[in-house]
Structure 1
Amino acid sequence: MTDGEELPGPRSVIDVQVADRDDLLVAFVPEDQPGDGVLVVTVAQDCTGRRIRVPVGDQVELVWSTRSGPRARTAEVLEVVLDGEPTWRLQLVSGTRSAQRRGAVRAEVGLPVVLADGGRTVTGTSLDLSETGLRGRWPVEAGWPAVLDRVTVTLQLTDGSSISGPAEVRRGFPVTDGRLEASLVFLDWPERAQDQVRGRVFERLRHLARRGDL
């Protein structure tokens, strides 16, 4: 099954938990899957975008989002494939169970960000981003937005799509060009929206790693 409940579906962002490591590791699920209890995922990356090494035969824990909450399965590394984007071939060795995802990872990501509050809207740019919130800059209009304001945030992604949801303005301060630099915390965003943001963050980390900037 690839409905998300028993296995992470294609293009899912998954957390990978490895013995003796407590940091956040993330992998992606490609479209093409062999089936028969084998799952292919990209080799997991840490928060700097660096891929980690797990020997063949070792086990990892996979955690992903579903409508009923995070789910997890244990898998054994069967093979490390280095052609193209490096991937693991994993043999699933446990059933599916409830789980808890680990903390958020943040990266410098510049995207158009629209804040809205009733009839008011203002467009700015993000400075960094995670699935729990963002930091950015916006023009200030008659004292709005201000710290503790509740707004609707719309992120314009590079593929032309967008993500919207409620947020609260935190830790704002004016900068020299007359704009407000502020941190926003996302409020009760669904898991799918958080996964979209998490995927964009790790896409940026991969790009920085390829350039040698991490």
Structure 2
Amino acid sequence: MTRLSVNINKIATLRNSRGGDNPNVVRVALDCENFGAQGITVHPRPDERHIRYQDVYDLKEVVTTEFNIEGNPSERKFVDLVLATRPAQVTLVPDALGAITSNAGWDTINNKELLTELIGEFKKVNIRVSVFVDADERMVEGARACGADRVELYTEPYAHHYFEDREAAVASFVQAAEMAKKVGLGLNAGHDLSLDNLRYLKKCIPWLDEVSIGHALISDALYYGLENTIQMYLRELEEQ
């Protein structure tokens, strides 16, 4: 079964745009769980423009499904946050300071020393570590060499080319996924996955462990409602 982890960053963005605490990110996280989501993902950034560091502490107290914290470990503040809250999973993402959203995976070969040290630090306290990578077999192998438990495939290129030629769009992702399976890594995927393209990705890579979806899911919820939307995404992940 592929688990659905809902990224609630957009809820925090909406809250922060007006000030106050509406919508409440903790309440929304609990609702997502009650509506069937099997995980909650947050991606705090140094400027706290959406998820705040205090949100992470608050969520850790109440999330009963899988809690996944994404972020760039170049900031020691992020590393300390993860070690203090001890989520089920940390996903290491090399997003640039000030980037609107993540736009590339790790070069796991040239960053082997850094990643190996960080992964070791997290695994000492039993936090599963996933490394965000492009659909490149070498980068998948590199993540394994660093000691990662999983990789998360950066799926924006797949989503971008899906309607042009979905078979061509998914090909490199299948190859990277097969490499992950070969070297014994768990497999996650995320970025720009939606109701349009999720089912086909799952069909081509049925051994996906988890997908993390935020922007599209929260946008769909404006039209379909949050509970219904989560159920729609879960149906797309059903065994085919």
Q: TM-score with structure 1 length normalisation? A: 0.27
Structure with larger RCO (C-alpha < 8 A, sep 6+) = 2
Between Structure 1 and Structure 2, the one with more helix by share is: 2
Between Structure 1 and Structure 2, the one with more strand by share is: 1
Q: TM-score with structure 2 length normalisation? A: 0.25
Rg larger in 1 or in 2? 1
